[in-house]
Amino acid sequence: MNGNKTILSVSLTALFLISTNSYACLTSEIESNDYESTANMDVCNNTTIAGNLSRNDIDWFEFQVSQAGTIDISLDHHRRDDFDWYLYQSNGAAVAQGESSNYPETGSYQAPAAGTYYLKLTRYKGSGWYDLDISFPEENTPPPTGCDYGDRPSKPGSLKTYIVGSSNDSCASLTQNNGAALLMGGGSDVDAAFSNRVTPHIGSSNDVVVLRTSGTDAYNDYLLGLTNADSVETLIIDSRTKANDAYVNWAIRSAEFVWIAGGDQSDYLNQWQGTSVQSAIQHVFDKGGVVGGTSAGMALMADSIYDPDGVSGAISAEVVTDFCHDTLQFSSRFISIPMLNNSLTDTHFQERDRMGRATVSLGHHSNNFFSIAASEATSIFITSDGNGVVDGSGEVYVLRETTQTQRQSLSCGQPVNYLNVLRTKLFSGDSYNVITHDHNGSEINISINGNNNNFYDPSNPY
């Protein structure tokens, strides 16, 4: 093994264009990391890394142990998959491994001294998401400061941007590990969510960035007024080359609020996942800023993302007839938002009758998952302690399993028969804690039986 690293990935190169004072822990795997020489770095002690293993994929990570001590490894994944890990020092064979059929796949190693270690993840069978946690002796590292990003890089001519306000970094003071998320269900935007939730969290005279792969600068003046921002900049990032550009990286990282417009979440994932856009958004959340989006942008906030890449959008009346309907596809998380661990999302909810879709999607995940679904013109703002508050003219719904839930028939090729899923309904001003599930909304149990023409029980689950 060769411990000298050559960073081949453009996305990793862009990641280090910022000052070392803006250091942030790795929270999402960055491709391509298929070899030891391209291993993901910035691995921090006890910081979950979200990733994805696909066919022929191998993921490598590098971390520094500061002194002799215990290295604990936990690799969580879907119960249908079988992923393994192998721990290496700078040279030689694996010193520890986890290659059973367990989930999570756990194990430990007693490091004899300080040094560089490498972790390799492989798939024995299956493919999909994983959450990797590594505990090891680590020196204290300076947290992100939210400042000192240097001068704005020059903008490439192919990149379309629109900015109102100052082009300089406002250099705001945020509270690390106090990030928040704004989830909006599409349709008309919710003014109060920006003025009454985002602005008090980040303060006035800060920088806002709007991300999209197509569209206009329609958000610029709107958000400038509602957030009293120093600047609002819209970036049209429609290629992976642009997503790895130094200008894009700087503009996002130096912002305090990142807003992802509606569009196509599959297109967003195809253009942005594994690039500087992904790591820069994560940086904003980690330093205490706000990240969020509407419609497709809300989809990207989930732990497991509904991703209809290359297929038609899933329709409730269709997916209930076959648990493994080919329109139901999921991708691993794009942003690591701890209070949204084990979350799914859905949008345009009541207007497009997506209760069946959201419930069947829940059945595709372990019973500790929950779904946040928002109707149009409605939002929920969630802070780091899990507390969420609803704004807007519609409803937010939360679906989750309880001890009463029965997975009677969740089998490929068979109609869904899924009983007593707890549905909580929330209106503007209502609150819901996504960690404790305490709330002041209204609850009912709903069931899905895909053998029936009216597959909902009660017949109106909304």
User: For 69-89, what is the mean pLDDT?
Assistant: 94
- In total, the chain counts a number of residues equal to 462
Judge whether residue 129 has pLDDT over 80: yes
Mean per-residue pLDDT, 70-95: 94
pLDDT at 16 over 70: no
Check whether domain 26-135 has CATH 2.30.110.10, yes or no:
no
Model pLDDT for residues 26-48, shown as the tens digit of each residue: 888 888 899 998 899 889 988 89
**Residue 173 pLDDT class (50, 70, 90 cuts):** confident
Which alpha helices (H) appear in 174-218, and where do they start and end? Answer: 191-192, 199-202
Beta strands in 261-404 (DSSP E): 290-294, 304-306, 330-332, 343-346, 370-374, 378-382, 387-392, 396-400
∠ CA 30-34-36 to the nearest 5 degrees? 100
How many angstroms separate the CA atoms of 264 and 278, rounded? 16
> Which amino acid, 299?
A
pLDDT at position 225: 97
Q: Is 418 a residue whose pLDDT tops 50?
A: yes
Average pLDDT over residues 108-113: 93
Same CATH topology for 26-135 and 160-457?
Answer: no
Range from 118-127, 167-176, 192-201, 211-220 carrying the lowest mean pLDDT: 167-176
Rounded CA-CA distance 376/369 in Å is 23
**363 or 16, which is more confident?**
363
In the chain, what are the domain boundaries? 26-135, 160-457
The fraction of the chain above a pLDDT of 70, given in percent, is 93
- Tokens in use for 2? 């060769």
Q: What is the pLDDT of residue 458?
A: 98
pLDDT digits (tens, 9 = 90+) for 326-362: 999 999 899 999 999 999 999 999 999 999 999 999 9
Residue 140 is predicted with a pLDDT of: 59
- Residue 89 confidence class, pLDDT cut points 50, 70, 90: very high
Quote the mean pLDDT of the chain: 91
Q: Residue 26's pLDDT is what?
A: 86
Residue 238 or 137, more confident? 238
404-426 burial, b at 16+ Cβ within 10 Å, e below that, comes to ebeeebbeeeebbbbbbbbbbbb
For 259-312, the pLDDT digits (tens) are 999 999 999 999 999 899 999 999 999 999 999 999 999 999 999 999 999 999
Q: How far is CA 461 from the centre of its chain?
A: 28
Instruction: Identify the pLDDT of residue 448.
Output: 98
Query: What is the 3-state secondary structure of 56-94?
Result: CCCEEEEEEECCCEEEEEEEEECCCCEEEEEEECCCCCC
CATH assignment, 160-457:
3.40.50.880
Res. 24 pLDDT band, cuts 50 70 90: low
State the pLDDT confidence band at 25, using cuts at 50, 70 and 90: confident
**For residue 91, what pLDDT is reported?**
87
Looking at residue 147, its pLDDT comes to: 66
CA angle 450, 452, 453 (to 5 degrees): 105
Is pLDDT above 90 for 120? Answer: yes
Q: Binning pLDDT at 50, 70 and 90, where does residue 17 land?
A: very low
Q: Given a cut of 80, is residue 247 above it in pLDDT?
A: yes
pLDDT at 28: 84
Q: Which residue has the higher pLDDT, 353 or 4?
A: 353
- Residue 404: CA atoms inside 13 Å, Cβ hemisphere, count? 10
For residue 7, the model assigns a pLDDT of 31
pLDDT range class, residue 172, cuts 50, 70, 90: confident
Nearest to 152 by CA among 224, 250, 219, 228: 250
Q: Who contacts 151 (Cβ-Cβ below 8 Å, separation ≥6)?
A: none
Whether pLDDT at 51 is above 60: yes
Amino acid, single-letter form, for residue 32: S
- pLDDT band (50, 70, 90) for residue 321: very high
**pTM score above 0.85:** no
**1 pLDDT band (50/70/90 cuts)?**
very low
